[in-house]
């Protein structure tokens, strides 16, 4: 018979592998996003139900949205808002760049005078 040591040693588990994952939060509702409902647009994470047009709140998909300065629009409203004023700033309720240039020019004139 074999007279070797027959004591069983406990198996050590690797501590490097863990199931802890960083919870992702929806950019719209700020609740946890689980993998099955996860949608990423412009490096922001959303629930698929929270990814909506800013103008009409229609549900968007990755093929039906347009983004401008962190806001998401459906393509028809993005075009409509652009066409209404002919530029991105006025159509989307922002201050025009022309006004910013005019204020910088007036500052330069007063500094040189």
Q: Torsion angle, CA of 40/42/44/46, rounded to 10 degrees?
A: -40
Q: How do strand 44-47 and strand 65-68 relate by DSSP bridges?
A: unpaired
> What confidence tens digit (pLDDT) does each residue in 101-110 have?
666 666 666 6
> What confidence tens digit (pLDDT) does each residue in 42-83 have?
999 999 999 999 999 999 999 999 988 888 999 999 888 877
pTM, entire model: 0.57
Give the CA diameter of the chain.
108
- Nearest-CA neighbor of 33 among 44, 20, 18, 19? 44
Separation of alpha carbons 84 and 107, rounded Å: 32
Separation of alpha carbons 113 and 103, rounded Å: 16
Which CA distances in Å does 56 have to 73, 78, 80, 83, 88? 8, 11, 12, 17, 18
């Amino acid at each position: 018979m074999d007279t070797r040591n027959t004591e069983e040693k406990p198996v050590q588990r690797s501590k490097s592998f863990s199931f802890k994952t960083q919870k992702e939060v929806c950019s719209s509702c700020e609740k946890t996003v689980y993998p099955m409902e996860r949608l990423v647009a412009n490096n922001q994470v959303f629930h698929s139900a929270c990814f909506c047009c800013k103008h009409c709140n229609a549900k968007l998909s990755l093929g039906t949205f347009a983004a401008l300065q962190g806001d998401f629009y459906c393509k028809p409203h993005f075009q409509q808002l652009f066409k209404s004023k002919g530029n991105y700033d006025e159509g989307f309720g922002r201050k025009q760049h022309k006004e910013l240039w005019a204020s910088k020019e007036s500052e330069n004139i007063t500094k040189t005078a």
